Chain A
Amino acid sequence: MSAADTTTPTEVPPPLSVPPPPTPSAPRRRRGPGATPWLLLAPCLLILGLVMGYPLVRLVTLSFQKFGQSQLWGFLPAQWVGFDNFTAVLGDGEFWTVVVRTVVFAAGCVIFTMVTGMLIALLLQRVSGWVKTLINIALVASWGMPIVVATTVFKWLFDADYGILNALLSKLPGVEMIGHNWFASGPQGLAVIMLLVVWGAVPFVVITLSAGLTQVPKEMEEAARLDGAGAWGVFRYVTLPILKPIIVMLTTLSVIWDMGVFPQVFVMRNGHPEPEFQILPTYSYDRAFVVNDYAQGSAIALITVLLLLGVVAVYMRQMLKIGEVE
Chain B
Amino acid sequence: MSTLAPGVRRRSKLGWNLLGLLVFVTAGFPVYWMLNTAFKPAKDAIDPDPSLLPTGVTLSNFSRALDIADFWGPVGRSLVVSLAVVAIGIVVGTLAALAISRFAFRGRKVVIVGILAVQMVPLVAMIIPVFLLLNDLDQYDKLSGLIITYLTFILPFTVWTLRGFIVNIPRELEEAAMVDGCSPTGAFLRVVFPLLAPGMVATSVYAFIQAWNEYLYALMLLSQKNQTATVWLGNFTTKHGTEYAPMMAGATMMAVPIVVLFLLVQRKMAAGLTAGAVKG
A residues in contact (CB < 8 Å) with B: 1-10, 13, 15-19, 32-33, 36-38, 40-41, 43-45, 47-48, 50-52, 54-56, 58-59, 62, 72, 120, 123-124, 126-128, 131-132, 134-135, 137-157, 159, 161-162, 164, 167, 178, 199, 202-204, 207-208, 211-212, 215, 242, 245-246, 249, 256, 259-260, 262-263, 266-267, 270-271, 281, 284-285, 288-289, 294, 297-298, 301-302, 304-305, 308, 312, 315-316, 318-323, 325-326
Contact = CB atoms under 8 A, between A and B. Distances in A.
Contact of B23 (A1, A6, A135): A135
Given A138-B24, A147-B213, A207-B270, A38 B128 contact: no
Given A51-B133, A245-B278, A285 B31 contact: no
B122 interface: yes
A163 B242 CA distance: 13
Contacts of B135: 72
B221 to A, nearest CB: 11
Nearest to B251: A149
Scoring A50, A152, A325 by chain B CB atoms within 10 A of each residue's CB, the highest score goes to: A152
Contacts, number: 351
Contact of B30 (A62, A142, A161, A315): A142
Given A144-B259, A146-B258, A294-B128, 16 more contacts: A15-B103, A17-B187, A38-B105, A40-B95, A41-B95, A47-B92, A52-B118, A62-B128, A131-B17, A134-B20, A138-B28, A140-B259, A212-B278, A249-B277, A259-B122, A301-B124
A32 B124 CA distance: 41
Contact of A123 (B16, B248, B266): B16
Contacts of B151: 47, 51
The main secondary structure of chain A at its interface with chain B is helix
Nearest to A316: B116
Closest 4 CB pairs of A and B: A144-B262, A15-B104, A55-B129, A138-B28
B233 A148 contact: yes
Interface of B: 13, 16-17, 19-21, 23-24, 27-28, 30-31, 33-34, 37, 45-50, 52, 92-93, 95-96, 98-105, 108-109, 111-118, 120-130, 132-133, 135, 148-149, 151-152, 155-156, 159, 164-165, 167-168, 171, 174-175, 178, 184, 187, 209, 212-213, 215-216, 220, 230, 233-237, 242, 244, 247-248, 251, 254-255, 258-259, 261-263, 266-268, 270-280
A110 to B, nearest CB: 15
B96 A44 contact: yes
Contact of B129 (A15, A62, A156, A211): A62
Nearest to A288: B128
B216 A262 contact: yes
Contact of A140 (B52, B105, B174, B262): B262
14 contacts: A5-B168, A8-B164, A17-B175, A43-B95, A59-B126, A127-B16, A131-B16, A131-B20, A138-B27, A152-B234, A208-B273, A288-B128, A294-B132, A326-B101
B280 A47 contact: no
B50 A167 contact: yes
A157 B34 CA distance: 9
A44 B155 contact: yes
Nearest to A312: B120
Given A15-B104, A38-B99, A246 B117 contact: no
Contacts of A1: 267-268, 271
A208 B261 CA distance: 19
Nearest to B126: A55
B51 to A, nearest CB: 10
A126 B23 CA distance: 13
B267 to A, nearest CB: 6
Nearest to B265: A144
Given A15-B103, A256-B120, A325 B275 contact: no
B275 A308 contact: no
A316 B28 contact: no
A16 to B, nearest CB: 8
A124 B19 CA distance: 10
B24 A322 contact: no
Contacts of A178: 48
Given A17-B184, A55-B130, A120-B23, A147 B215 contact: yes
Given A128-B13, A325-B279, A211 B270 contact: yes
Contacts of A141: 28, 31, 259, 263
Scoring A4, A5, A127, A297 by chain B CB atoms within 10 A of each residue's CB, the highest score goes to: A127
